[in-house]
Chain A
Amino acid sequence: MKKIKEKLMYGYLMISGGVTGIIILFIIIFLFSEGIGLFQSKNIENGYALYLNTENVIEELSPEEITNIFDGKITNWKEVRGQDLEIITYRFNDLLNSYSESDLGDNYEHIPLIIEEHISENKGIIAYLPTSFAPEESDFVRILSVGNIELKDFFIESKWMPTSEPVPLFGSLSLIIGTLLVGFLAIIIALPLGLGLAVYLSELANKKVKKVLKPVIELLAGIPSVVYGFFGLIVLAPIVQKVFKLPIGETALTGALVLAIMALPTIVSVAEDALNNTPRELKEASLALGANQWETIQKVVFPYAKSGILAAIVLGVGRAIGETMAVLMVTGNAAILPSSVFQSVRTIPATIAAELGEAPTGGVHYQALFLLGIVLFLFTLMTSVVGEVISKKKY
């Protein structure tokens, strides 16, 4: 009896042991299942289509072109490899605004006919209509075939406008660049600070100082992201604004400053460990040759602890890139390609946090956000694995 109990318990423990593996598996499965669907979706909203006059020979249009057409930036078909014909955009609302209730019929049964007439009269027309109310294809009307959302468009295009009509744009490049910009900038700021602190803690500080400094760093690590965002917004952003004479203080730089403070504890603890693991004899040998302490640290300790320091950098980058709330509150959230650190940017985690609430479940926007999640997850997975591999490498 006792043996059976023991075996059961052992089995339970073993399953528990595997629980983290199961969770990672779940994360991967769910992210991918929801995200990959994006590439099977059409560029245009479900239930809608683009209608052209049959004399218009245009074969296909890119999502960006469609958006520019409807924004009025492209006005002639010849600009998009078509005929020299003026573009007339037409939306469903235009129909409802130009005709009275009675014209449209009690059950809106006249609508398809009205539209068909309208299309046949305007050769350069492009109409964005719900398929349920639109006319069938005929001698006058044809539907523009719209391709699926493409992988390369997702990564190469920089316009992220998930709510634009008729075609939502999912170019994540501006988000990726924004994320990397803020992340690496944060590390550039945090690295000298973190290394200096690590050297101070491992080589210079006496016990009393360590007793104060170490808890301080631990507390900094424990402050929630929202609170950092709060602090950054109320205190740092105005300072940045004043010092650099900018229109607003919410910039990539401000985000990087906050992230630097948040990533600091990670960098300090990993680097300090690496420095502490340097054998005492090595340091003594250098000092015995007449090198002073700083020279010894630079020329003997740092090279020896190289792998640990590198691991600190990589892990710090991973931490900075994955931060959500603080960045969301402080970088201004403009999903554009930044041309300087003094502009507002949007990072991937911030985008997901800001938009997921409004994206209809299962829709293209929803899927696009999950795809962003995949990108983020893979990136932090990579930094985590690389960091671990590097730190295990003995010199």
Chain B
Amino acid sequence: MILSFSIWPIVKIFALLFLAIYIIFSIVIIRQVQLMTATLEIGFEGQLRFLSVLHFLFAVGVFVFGILIL
């Protein structure tokens, strides 16, 4: 019982910290896709941008969900 009280709040902080860093990473991916599609146009740009934004939203969603349920 003592162990669970001492460990899980720390785990929660680390999990949220990881998710916050991951959100930054997903923003970098959006920027990367923008850079790539500006350099090269092949005909899949719209879908790729949508995918990168979806990934960012998923990361934000998991972060918010983490705050709520942990």
Chain A complexes with chain B? no
Seen from chain B, the residues whose Cβ lies within 8 Å of a Cβ on chain A are none
A residues near B (Cβ < 8 Å) are: none
